[in-house]
Structure 1
Amino acid sequence: MSLPGTDRLGRLSELGVSVWLDDLSRENLSSGALRTLVDDFHVVGVTTNPTIFASALSKGEAYDEQIETLASEGAGVDDAVLAITTDDVRDACDLFADVHAATDGKDGRVSIEVDPRLAHDTDRTIKAARMLWQTVDRPNLMVKIPATMEGLPAITQAISEGISVNVTLIFSLDRYRAVTGAYIDGLERAHANGIDLSTIRSVASFFVSRVDTEIDKRLENKGASKALKGKAAVANARLAYEAFEQIFATPRWNELAAQGAHRQRPLWASTGVKDPDYPDTMYVDELVVDDVVNTMPEKTLRAAADHAEARGDTVRGTYADARRTLDDLERLGISYNEVTELLEKEGVEKFEASWTELLATVEAALQSRTAGAAT
C-alpha cells in the first residue's frame, strides 16, 4: 500500500529529518503558497541565499511598491537590498513563529546570508552578522556564514554573542569538523559571557549534489567504470554524520549540554538532483537519519511528497562502505581535497555573482523609478 503524498514527508519528519524549503520570495509569502507548504507538506523552516533572492527580484511585480518607496527616499542600492531581503525574512520568521514555539526553537527557522563578498573577511563578516541579527530582530532567525577559513572565527564570535548561525558551503569532512569546533568554542565563550545556551541554535550546511557533479565529471574524463558514479556525495554526507555523532558525544560537549546547549545539526544542502539519470529524491532517500535537516528546492520537496521512500535510517551502518567509496576514488586519481577545495571556491564565486546580479537588478529598478519621477 503506497502512502498518500504528504504522509511521505510526515514519515521523514517522524524519522528525525526536519523538512526545510530552500526558497523564499515575497510572492510565496503574500499568496499563501508558503503557508500551504507549512500546513500540508510538513515544511518547518526556510533557507535563502543570494541566488534565491536574485531570482525572486527578477520575476513579477511583488517588489515594485517597495522599490518605488525606496527610490522616493533616495535609498542607495546596498540599503535597498538590505531592506528588501530583511523584510522578506522577517515576514517569513513571523510565519514560522508557531513552529518555532512548538519545537522549542529547534525548527521554525529562517536563514539569511551575509554579503558573500565578505567570505574572506572575518571582521566584516562579524559586523554583517550582527547587523542582520539586529535588523531582522526575530528569535527564529539564523544568520548564514560561509565555512571559509576566514569564516570560522566569525562563526565562533557570532555564537559567543548569542546569534544563531547556519554555517554554509561545507564540502569536506575536515572543514566540517572545523565548523563544529568553531561552534563549540563559541558556546563556551557564550557561557562565560552569561548567555543562556538554550537560546542558541545552529546548523552546519553540508552540500551534497555539487560533489557528485564534479566527481562524476572527473570519472567520465578518466573513462572509469560507472560503478562509482553518483556515489561520492552520499558517502561524504554519511561520513559527516558519523563525525557529528562522535563530536557531540565527547566529555567537552557533555559539559555544554548540561548547561542547556543544543547539538549543531547537520543540514543536507544542495539536495536537488543535477543529473537526470538519478532518482529525483536520491539525496532525500539516502540521507534519512534522526536530528538532521534536509533543505529542499520546491521541485524536490514535491517529488519527495509524491514518492520518497522513507524506508527508515539509511545512514547509520554505512560508514565503512562510505569510506571505501572515497578510497576507491583516490585510487583512481581523483583527489578528494582538490575537489572539495574547488567546490568551496566555486561556491563563494557563484554566490558573489548572484549578489552582483541582485545589486544590479535593484539598482536598475531604483534608477528607473527615479528617472520616471523626474520626467
Structure 2
Amino acid sequence: MTAPLSPLLEATRRFPTRLWNDSADPDELTRSIAFGAVGATCNPVIALAAIRKRLDVWGPRIRELADERPTAGESELGWAVVEELSVQAAALLEPSFEASGGRDGRLSVQTDPRLHRDADALVAQAVRFSELAPNIIVKIPATSTGIRAIEEATYRGVSINATVSFTVAQAVAVAEAIERGLDRRADDGLDEHEFGSVVTIMGGRLDDWLKSWVADQRILIDPGAMEWAGVAALKKAHALFRERGYRSRVLSAAFRNHLQWSELQGGDLVVSPPFDWQARIDENALPVLERIDEPVPAAALAELRRLSEFHRAYDEHGLSIEEFDTFGATVRTLRQFLEADAQLDALVRDILVPAV
C-alpha cells in the first residue's frame, strides 16, 4: 500500500502555491526540498543562526577569509560568509530554477540593513548580490527609501524580494514599484526575462505588533482573533495582486501559526515557513484544502476591525509611503536586523581577536 504524501508535498503538487524554506542553511534546505520546496529566503537573523549552528565550518572559514583579506574588518568578513552561505544554498535550487524558467528555484539574499537610509547604496549592493548566482533574488526593505531602490534595482535587472513588509499598503507599493521598473526596461528595449520577484508580508510579525499594540492601548479583544491578522492581510494582498495582474507574487513569511500555511493554499503565491514549522505540519498531517479564497471568519474580522492599527495594516491606503518607516512592526524588525548585524560583527571579532 502506498504511503500517504506529506501534506506539504501534496500541496505543492495540487496547487500553484509554492513552498520555500525560511533559511539558507544547506542541511535544512536539502530536507525542505524533499517536502517540495523550490526556494529559500534569508535575513540577518536567519543568517546569523545558520552560521552559529555550523561554527565548526564557518569559524575556520572566517579565519581563512581574514588571511586572504588582511585589511578587511569584521563587517566585510561577516558579509563574505553570508554571501558564501547564500551561493551554496542557491546551487541546491538551480534544478528548480531551470525547470521553471526562472520563476522558482530562487535564493533570497538580504541587503545590509545598515544601508536602509541610502537608496543608491541599496541598489548598488542589490546589483552585486544578483551577480553571485543566476537564481539570486535580492531583499530590499519596503520603506520609503526601499520603494525607490526597488524600482531602480528592478530596472537594472535585479529580481526582488521585498522585506520589512507587513501591510497591504506596503505590498501594493512594492508591486507598483516593480511594475514601473519593468515598464522602464521595456521602454528602453532591455531584455525581458522571468524575474521571479516576490513581495513578502511578514504575517507573524504583524500579529506580534498588533498584540503588543493592543496591550499598550489596554484594549481587551478576543485573543483568537489576533491569530488572523497576518492571514487577513495576506489574503487581501493576494486578491489585489491577482485582480491587477502584477508580475510579482505575494510571499508569506514570519510564521507564528499553521493558518499562515493552510489558509493560503490554492493561491498563486509563496509560503516560506522555517523548517521546524514544515516538520510540524508534516507530523500533524494537516489537511490540504484550497482555502485562499475562503474569507477570514466574520467574527475574527469584526474583532480586528475594532482596532485602528489593524486598519492601517489591512486597508490598501491605510499607510502612506512615508508612514511605512514609522509603522511599529517596521521599527521593531529593522532594529532586530541591525542588532543581528552587530552580533555577526561580534562573532567575527571573537574569532579573530579572542578574549584573554
TM range, normalised to the smaller chain? 0.7 to 0.9
Give 1:154's aligned residue: 149
Query: Contact 2:8–2:35 (CA<8 Å) still a contact in 1?
Result: yes
Corresponding residue for residue 260 of structure 2: 283
Q: Which residue, out of 108, 117, 122, partners 1:120? A: 117
1:308–1:117 distance in 2 versus 1, CA, 3 Å: farther
Q: Percent identity?
A: 27
Aligned counterpart in structure 2 of residue 293 of structure 1, from 270, 275, 281: 270
Tell me the amino acid that sits aligned with residue 60 of structure 2: E
Is 1:89 the counterpart of 2:86 in the alignment?
yes
Alpha-carbon shift at residue 3 of structure 1 (Å): 7.2
| Corresponding residue of 2:17 | 17
2:281 corresponds to 1:304: yes
The CA RMSD measured in Å over matched residues stands at: 2.6
Residue matched to 2:332: 346
TM-score, normalisation: structure 2: 0.87
Residues 164-217 of structure 1, C-alpha deviation per residue, up to 9 Å, x if partnerless?
111112111112111110010010112123333223220001111122223234
Residues 120 and 281 from structure 1, CA distance in 2 versus in 1: closer, same or farther, beyond 3 angstroms?
Answer: same
Take 1:315 and 1:33, find their aligned partners in 2: how far apart are those partners? 27
Q: What is residue 258 of structure 1 aligned with on the other side?
A: none
Kindly provide the amino acid, as one letter, of the partner of residue 360 in structure 1. A
Shift of 1:33: 5.1
Q: Is the 8 A contact 2:238 2:267 kept in 1?
A: no
Which residue of the partner structure matches residue 318 of structure 2? none
> By how many angstroms is 1:82 displaced?
2.8
| Partner residue, 1:53 | 47
Q: Does the 8 Å CA contact 1:281/1:308 hold for their aligned counterparts? A: no
The superposition leaves residues 243-265 of structure 1 with CA deviations (integer Å, 9 ceiling, x where unpaired) of: 111221xxxx6xxxxxxxxx201
Query: How far is 1:267 from its partner?
Result: 0.4
From 236, 251, 254, the equivalent of 1:267 is 251
Counterpart CA distance in 2 for 1:245 and 1:211 is 22
Q: Distance in 1 between matches of 2:155 and 2:79?
A: 24
**For residues 128 and 42 of structure 1, what CA distance do their matches in structure 2 show?**
30
Distance 1:336 1:365 in 2: 47
Count of paired positions: 339
Would the aligned equivalents of 2:15 and 2:265 in 1 still touch at CA under 8 Å?
Answer: yes
Quick one: which of 153, 168, 178 aligns to 1:173? 168
Pairwise mapping of residues 26-105 of structure 1 onto structure 2 (< 5 A)? 29=26, 34-38=29-33, 40-59=34-53, 60-73=55-68, 74=70, 75-105=72-102
Task: Assess, with a 3 A threshold, how the Cα gap between structure 1 residues 347 and 100 changes in structure 2: closer, same or farther.
Answer: same
Q: List alignment gaps of at least 5 residues for structure 2.
A: 315-323
Indicate the SS of the match to 2:304: helix
Q: Distance in 2 between matches of 1:264 and 1:338?
A: 20
Report the CA distance between 1:43 and its aligned residue.
Answer: 1.6
Alpha-carbon offset, residue 124 of structure 1 = 1.2
Structure 2 partner of 1:357 = 343
Task: Report the residue type matching 2:261 in the other structure.
Answer: V
- CA pair 198-311 structure 1, distance change in 2 beyond 3 A: same
Secondary structure of 1:311's aligned partner: coil
1:247 is aligned to: 244
* Distance across 2 between alignment mates of 1:2 and 1:351: 45
2:319 is matched with none
Cα distance in 2, alignment partners of residues 148 and 367 from structure 1: 36
One-letter amino acid of the structure 2 residue matched with residue 296 of structure 1: P
Q: Secondary structure at the match of 2:103?
A: coil
Q: Within 2, Cα distance between the matches of 1:224 and 1:69?
A: 54
* Superposition deviation, residue 2 in structure 1: 12
Q: Is the 8 A contact 2:29 2:40 kept in 1?
A: no
Q: TM-score, normalised by structure 1?
A: 0.83
1:155 Cα deviation after fit? 0.5
1:238 paired with 2:238, answer: no
Q: Distance in 2 between matches of 1:215 and 1:2?
A: 45
